[in-house]
Structure formats: C-alpha cells, structure tokens
Amino acid sequence: MRTEQATATARDTQSELPLRLAPAPPAPRSIKETGLNEVVVADLILKHLLQHGLMHGYEIARSLCLPFSVLEPLLDWLKHERYLEVTGGELFGPVSYRYALTDLGRSRAQEAMAACQYVGPVPVTLEQYTAQMARQAVRGVPCTRREIEQATAHLLLPDALLEGLGPAVVSGHSLLLFGPPGSGKSAVSRALGEFLNRRGGLIWVPHAIYEAGSIITLYDPLAHTRLEERFPELDPTALSVEQFGVEPDPRWVCVFRPVVSVGGELTLSMLDLSYNATGNYYQPPIQLKANGGLLVIDDFGRQIVSPQALLNRWILPLEERYDYLTLANGKKIRIPFEQLVVFSTNLDPADLADEAFLRRIRYKLQFRAPTREEYERIFAMTAERLGVAYEPEVFDHLFSKYYRDGKQPRGSDPRDLLEIAQAICRFREIEPIITVALIDEAAARFFRSELPSPQEGAGAATAARGAHST
C-alpha cells in the first residue's frame, strides 16, 4: 500500500520533478555483506550504548542504519562475551530487548571511543562508494536543448551559449565561463546548479566511508538535500522497491544532486581531508561533497591559491575522474571525482594559466556585454519581476546617458538599478514607478557618480508622486 501511494505521488509531482532515481545499493543481509570487519561494527554498537545508555534492539538498528537481522548475531556474541546484558523488554523478541553495557563492555567501549570518537551510522567501504558513484555520475543525467532552455528561461542567452552548456552537462566534464563582470556567468552557474539539483534526478550518498582503518564522514545536510525534505509524502525506500525491486541499504541517504560553490575563500587545504585529531576521523573536502553534482569555482583567479596551483592539484582528477587524498598516517586513498566542475572568471583565460593547463578544462564559453536590444529586454523582464512600472523614455534616457563613450552595459545592471530605485520608493512611501529623475538618482548611487543634492532628491520623489497621480 505504501509503495503504491509513493508511486502515485511521484506521478502526481512528475511535472514538478522528474523522479529519476539512481539504483540504490541493496540492503546487506549479513555483516559480511557490509564489507566491514565484525570488530568495527561491534565497537560502534558499544560506543552507541556508552553514549545513550540503555537501548532497545530496534533503536540500535536505527542508530547504526542496519537491519536488526544483520546485527542480531553480533549482539548475541557481545552478550555471550559479557560485553552486553539484556535488562528487559522481551515481550516481542530480541528486537525489543533492552541492552546495556556491562562493566567489561563499558571498559571496551571507552577504549574504542579513545581510538575513534565517531558515533553514527555504520560506514560503507570505499569500494562500495566508488561503485555507487559510477552508477550515478553526472554524465548520466539526461539533458536536451529543451531542458537547458527551460532551466535558463529567466536569462537571455544567445544560442551559442545554450549549445555550449548542454554538451558540457551531458559529458560531465569541466567548464570554463569567462567574460566581463555582470555578463551572466554566475547566473548561468546558478541555473546549472538548479537544473542538476531539481531536474537531475536523485542519488544515494553514504553517511560515512571506511577505508584503511579510517572513517570519513560524508553526508552533510548543508550540501545534501534529502528527498523527504522537499517531498515529505514520498518514501525513497518504497520508490526503490517499486522501480528496481531493491530495498536500499539504510546506510545511504537519498538526496538531490548537490551543488557546492566556493569563491575567493578557496584554499588548497579545502581540497584535502580535514583530520579531527581529537576524534580521530575525517571530514570531506569540497569535491567529495560535490560528487554526483556540481562544483562551482566562482571568481576563478582571485582565490588565495593561485590558478596554477589549483589546476596542478586537479590535473589528474579533471582528466581521469578520480582523486587521491592523504590520510594522517601518510597513506593515499583513491576516491571518485564524479562531478561537473564550473570555473567562472572575469579574467582573460590566457592570464590564468598556459594552454597545457587550460586544456584540462574541456569546455570554454565566452560571455560578452549585451547589445542595446538585449539590455532593454533584460530591463523589461527585471521590471516585471520586481513589479515596478516604467516608460520607454526612462530606458532611452538611461542607456544614452550612462552607456556612452565606450562604457559597456552589464546584464546585471538592470537588476541593481531597479532594486535601488525600488528601495528608494519604499523608503519614501511612494508607488514604485520609475521616472527619469528616479533612475538618475539610482544611477548616481550605483555608478558612484555625484549624488544628487537634497533638493534634487526631493524633486525625484515629487516627480514620482506626480507620475503616480497622473
């Protein structure tokens, strides 16, 4: 019944969200199928009990994100070895048992906690994670001209840009957007992120990864949005059973494709594992969080780290689709690099790096300043979105006065100017009608030219009121 309801709801929301669901890793039927040593899982059980005290069997299973049937033999062994004792709750069988640590169990749990303070769901192996990422890579996202047009419908993009964006998404390879400030690069990056996040289907991300005796946390609520957060009525388990006949491994979370964006704050340390020396576990770098989705490097060339150093770091990942991370003991581990990387810059690509470096960025799209006609369409669309009225002569005045002597218009200028004018109207408690005087006042603030005198400002307000009364 639950499966039928979930499927029906998915069909109802099809126009809003195509629920393309990546095949889920199947739920393990034994500790062996988790890929982990029994000792690793046993220590996690003990640490959970040390942290929470008494726990029912079903609570332990829920906290560790494993079926109780998988944990039951291990709980029996821990009880047999006198690490655990059952203190009640036997009415409905072992799943309802209330487990507690013995003195011996508490001692072992404290030793396990001293070795690693991670207390959470049982991690998946790096091998399992790598296999799953190959099944849900960005290059598997369906992307057509119509879908890209829909994703960028709020922008005015020439055909050349649309034709360049689509193949980059389909291939999953890196993309360089370059051009003057305000030409729409960041807006296009956001639109691509929205497309992948909303229309790119659902993927599975583990709570944590285990490799070489180390744990790397991965699922991050700030980077990953669960299906249930947007559609509480949908059950990813039911959808997986309906579409693939597979009950998913509960150690994995069903999420929308992530979008991670960084700007001038980017440093090389953000591309490496962050080691928690106190807890003895790791937090993931940004590219690991972005796997399966989009990673945007905004203002490329203005980071603390140089473009050459960044591209040197990513020469291998950009071409081979895998990266190497270093553990605290010096051991290197190989992780998937399965994301669409978008570099956005105002600088000339030739000033960023030589051709050998830039070759690693497969797609390159140049943005230019809008023509007068394009600028007018952007101005009109922005005014409609903001709910402000204006007359054609206002635009003619704006363009002829402020974009002369070679000054290039920027696609972002209409938004900035009209929002300033709108704010002035709200402050003065007048209707948001854009007049020539008001656009001059907004332009004076925006273009950093000489501000109008108080009398001129009052004149703009009077002109706006007069236009409204007319």
Least confident of 47-61, 85-99, 195-209, 378-392: 85-99
**19 falls within a domain:** no
Assess whether 354 and 223 both reside in one domain.
yes
CATH number at residue 67: 1.10.10.10
Assess whether 218 and 115 both reside in one domain.
no
**10 falls within a domain:** no
Assess whether 337 and 193 both reside in one domain.
yes
Q: Pick the last residue of a domain from 366, 384, 408.
A: 366
Assess whether 417 and 272 both reside in one domain.
no
SS (H, E, C) the chain: CHHHHHHHHHHHCCCCCCCCECCCCECCCCHHHHCCCHHHHHHHHHHHHHHHCCEEHHHHHHHHCCCHHHHHHHHHHHHHCCCEEECCCCCCCHHHCEEEECHHHHHHHHHHHHHCCCCCCCCEEHHHHHHHHHHCCHHHCCCCHHHHHHHCCCCCCCHHHHHHHHHHHHHCCCEEEECCCCCCHHHHHHHHHHHHHHHCCEEEEECEEEECCEEEECCCCCCCCEHHHHCCCCCHHHHHHHHHCCCECCCEEEEECCEEEECCCCCHHHHCCEEECCCCEEECCHHHHCCCCEEEECCCCCCCCCHHHHHHHHHHHHHHCEEEEECCCCCEEEEECCCEEEEEECCCHHHHCCHHHHCCCCEEEECCCCCHHHHHHHHHHHHHHHCCEECHHHHHHHHHHHCCCCCCCCCCHHHHHHHHHHHHHHHHCCCCEECHHHHHHHHHHHCCCCCCCHHHHHHHHHHHHHHHHC
Whether residue 11 has pLDDT greater than 80: no
Whether residue 451 has pLDDT greater than 50: no
Number of domains in the chain: 3
Over the stretch 180-196, which tens digit does the pLDDT of each residue have?
888 888 888 888 888 88
Round the average pLDDT of the chain to a whole number and report it: 87
Assess whether 232 and 322 both reside in one domain.
yes
* The model's pTM: 0.84
Assess whether 250 and 165 both reside in one domain.
yes
More confident residue, 301 or 64: 64
Assess whether 311 and 343 both reside in one domain.
yes
Q: Pick the last residue of a domain from 61, 89, 120.
A: 120
**158 falls within a domain:** yes
Assess whether 105 and 183 both reside in one domain.
no
pLDDT value at position 8? 40
Assess whether 76 and 171 both reside in one domain.
no
Q: Pick the last residue of a domain from 334, 366, 398.
A: 366
Q: Residue 435 sits in which domain range?
A: 372-469
More confident residue, 25 or 361: 25
Least confident of 332-336, 357-361, 377-381, 412-416: 357-361
